[in-house]
């Protein structure tokens, strides 16, 4: 296959750089948020706006380009495409110099960026066949036709829908809903990660000679493989599926593993190798299987693990960012509910059943619970103010049976630290009770809450009350998480990691809607009287 890819805003992501530059030019306030399109319209509305926007663009595409990132997943796409024998051309409509200032060269900085990412044809990786700069859109279309491409990927609708583009060239509008991320394009053009990809990866690394490999995938956020090596212990390879909202699950997980190991936590996988460009990590393989059900002894393993993490974060004063989706006060949980609701808005427009459930059942219940929770929040703490750092713990965030493994001796290992960071232990305690895979009944829930009380109540006097009034709010969050299957972006991600037909997907959606309704009813019946005391 011959694949053409645009450069600016298709391979190179400028959102972050544009924002930093606009702030330094005093064009927006420090707390401004939004994407490049929003920024463009904001600046154009200022006096002399068009000129200021062009000046900013000139700066970003020249000097500031060195701080720009590749879109998550694009380098791995290029690497896999090359290994599968496809030829990739970068075809960019980029003038030699900036429109507003002929002293600013635009192509040389772009070439330097490509060199830095090892993407030039002559670099070690050599992932790109040729890089072509054209001065006008018309010249770009002519080049795409001349190259007789199979597919052209571009963020500009004017290119993918250009009337002069040959009809036999497939086009992908990058950024458009179905192809909003590189993993979704990877899935469409190259299909799921396969045995050949794993062999190519191991051969290029210095880990050994691969003799067999098999998928051991269970999670939706990654593709996981076990690889047997000649004369060496087997390894686990994890391919992360990053997007702009979780831009680097790999780095978080790698640092989390390093810190835990440093402070003596050993029942976690050891990272052997990690690659930024391919968004993969290689772990020592743990010969164990996923825990299927929770019981009292498993609850003890989890609470012992939390106790150790409490020490790592507290006593050793480890520096680490907040956990992904951390909630340090009641208001943070409400914000998450609202953000999850807005992520489902589009799905609601396309699905009457979902819309009916959200509008007639979930929203009225959520409003009642939020009001009640505010009234009953511990008086010494504030619903809108974060709890003190001394009360926060390091937590994997996503803890439960699905992220625990048990070997033949009954030893338990914890895996998956992509969301790791500081958070309120109340969130960890609530999520453990609510995670559908944990299937916690009232009896086990009481044991778990007892353990958490023993761990935290001495130093955090309001822990139990905060837990009782936060738990139903997290319950509403979980009702919404269960509906993620309705979101198109999540569906693309899941399709990539699992292989699910459209028909199976409809079935899954209907099951999830039922599960969400059951949980909502349980929360509604129990929110005033915490059921795990």
Contact footprint for Mg ion (CB under 5 A): 6, 8-9, 155
Query: Which C-beta is closer to Mg ion: that of 162 or that of 495?
Result: 162
Query: Which C-beta is closer to Mg ion: that of 5 or that of 224?
Result: 5
Q: How many CB atoms lie within 10 A of CB 176?
A: 11
State the minimum distance, in angstroms, from the CB of residue 34 to Mg ion. 19
Question: Are the CB atoms for 511 and 485 separated by under 8 Å?
Answer: no
Query: Which C-beta is closer to Mg ion: that of 36 or that of 129?
Result: 36
The SS3 of residue 143 is helix
State the minimum distance, in angstroms, from the CB of residue 7 to Mg ion. 7
Cβ contacts of 32-39, under 8 Å, gap ≥ 24: 36/9
Query: Which C-beta is closer to Mg ion: that of 24 or that of 135?
Result: 135
Distance CA 203, CA 484 (A): 37
Query: Which C-beta is closer to Mg ion: that of 77 or that of 225?
Result: 77
Give me 121's structure tokens: 């044809």
State the minimum distance, in angstroms, from the CB of residue 203 to Mg ion. 34
State the minimum distance, in angstroms, from the CB of residue 9 to Mg ion. 4
Distance CA 54, CA 51 (A): 5
Among the listed residues 445, 437, 451, the one whose alpha carbon sits nearest the alpha carbon of residue 481: 437
State the minimum distance, in angstroms, from the CB of residue 419 to Mg ion. 32
State the minimum distance, in angstroms, from the CB of residue 117 to Mg ion. 17
Question: Are the CB atoms for 218 and 402 separated by under 8 Å?
Answer: yes
State the minimum distance, in angstroms, from the CB of residue 82 to Mg ion. 22
Per residue in 387-409, is it b (16+ CB within 10 Å) or e — as a string?
beeebbbbbbbbbbbbbbbbeee
Give me 249's structure tokens: 């699950």
Give me 78's structure tokens: 């290029």
Query: Which C-beta is closer to Mg ion: that of 6 or that of 398?
Result: 6
State the minimum distance, in angstroms, from the CB of residue 110 to Mg ion. 11
Burial label for 61, CB within 10 Å (0-12, 13-18, 19+), is buried
Q: How many CB atoms lie within 10 A of CB 128?
A: 23
The CA angle 273-275-279, to the nearest 5 degrees, is 125
State the minimum distance, in angstroms, from the CB of residue 54 to Mg ion. 16
State the minimum distance, in angstroms, from the CB of residue 187 to Mg ion. 22
Query: Which C-beta is closer to Mg ion: that of 244 or that of 517?
Result: 244
- φ, ψ (nearest 5 deg) of residue 404: -125, 145
Query: Which C-beta is closer to Mg ion: that of 155 or that of 186?
Result: 155
Residue labelled with tokens 């929203």: 363
Question: Are the CB atoms for 134 and 92 separated by under 8 Å?
Answer: yes
Q: Provide the 8-state DSSP code for 193.
A: -
Pairing of strands 280-284, 210-215: unpaired
What is the total residue count of the chain? 533
Query: Which C-beta is closer to Mg ion: that of 179 or that of 372?
Result: 179
Query: Which C-beta is closer to Mg ion: that of 173 or that of 250?
Result: 173
Question: Are the CB atoms for 515 and 482 separated by under 8 Å?
Answer: yes
């Amino acid at each position: 296959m011959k694949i053409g890819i645009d450069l600016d805003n298709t391979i190179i992501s400028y959102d972050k750089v544009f924002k930093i530059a606009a702030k330094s030019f005093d064009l927006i306030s420090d707390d401004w948020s939004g994407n490049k399109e929003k920024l463009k319209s904001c600046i154009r509305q200022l006096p002399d706006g068009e000129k200021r926007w062009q000046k900013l663009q000139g700066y970003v595409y020249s000097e500031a380009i060195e701080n720009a990132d590749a879109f998550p997943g694009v380098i791995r796409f290029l690497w896999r495409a090359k290994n599968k024998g496809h030829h990739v051309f970068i075809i960019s409509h980029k003038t030699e110099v900036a429109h507003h200032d002929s002293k600013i060269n635009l192509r040389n900085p772009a070439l330097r960026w490509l060199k830095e990412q090892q993407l030039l044809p002559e670099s070690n990786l050599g992932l790109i066949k040729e890089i072509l700069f054209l001065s006008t859109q018309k010249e770009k279309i002519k080049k795409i036709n001349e190259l007789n491409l199979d597919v052209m990927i571009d963020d500009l609708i004017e290119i993918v829908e250009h009337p002069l583009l040959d009809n036999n060239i497939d086009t992908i509008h990058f950024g458009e809903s179905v192809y909003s991320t590189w993993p979704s394009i990877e899935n469409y053009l190259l299909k799921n990660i396969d045995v050949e990809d794993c062999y190519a990866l191991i051969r290029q690394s210095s880990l050994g000679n691969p003799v067999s490999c098999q998928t051991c995938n269970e999670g939706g956020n990654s593709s996981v493989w076990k690889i047997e090596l000649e004369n060496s212990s087997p390894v686990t390879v994890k391919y992360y599926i990053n997007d702009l909202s979780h831009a680097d699950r790999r780095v978080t997980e790698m640092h989390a593993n390093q810190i835990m190991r440093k402070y003596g936590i050993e029942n976690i996988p050891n990272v052997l190798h990690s690659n930024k460009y391919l968004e993969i990590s290689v772990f020592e393989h743990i010969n164990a299987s996923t825990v299927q059900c929770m019981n009292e002894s498993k609850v003890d393993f989890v609470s012992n693990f939390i106790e150790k993490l409490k020490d790592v974060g507290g006593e050793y004063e480890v520096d680490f960012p907040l956990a992904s989706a951390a909630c340090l006060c009641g208001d943070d949980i409400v914000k998450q509910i609202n953000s999850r609701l807005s992520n489902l808005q589009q799905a609601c427009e396309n699905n009457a059943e979902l819309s009916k459930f959200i509008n007639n059942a979930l929203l009225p219940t959520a409003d009642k619970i939020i009001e009640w929770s505010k009234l009953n929040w511990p008086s010494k703490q504030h619903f809108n103010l974060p709890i003190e750092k001394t009360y926060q713990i390091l937590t994997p965030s996503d803890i439960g049976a699905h992220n625990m493994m048990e070997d033949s001796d009954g030893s338990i290992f914890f895996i998956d630290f992509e969301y790791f960071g500081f958070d309120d232990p109340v969130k960890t305690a609530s999520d453990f009770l609510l995670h559908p895979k944990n299937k916690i009944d009232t009896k086990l829930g009481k044991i778990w809450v007892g353990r958490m009380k023993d761990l935290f109540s001495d130093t955090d006097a309001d822990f139990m009350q905060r837990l009782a009034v936060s738990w139903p709010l997290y319950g509403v969050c979980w009702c919404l998480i269960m509906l993620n299957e309705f979101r198109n972006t999540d569906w693309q991600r899941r399709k990539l990691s699992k292989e699910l037909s459209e028909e199976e997907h409809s079935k899954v959606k209907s099951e999830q809607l039922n599960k969400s309704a059951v949980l909502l009813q349980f929360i509604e019946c129990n929110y005033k009287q915490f059921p795990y005391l």
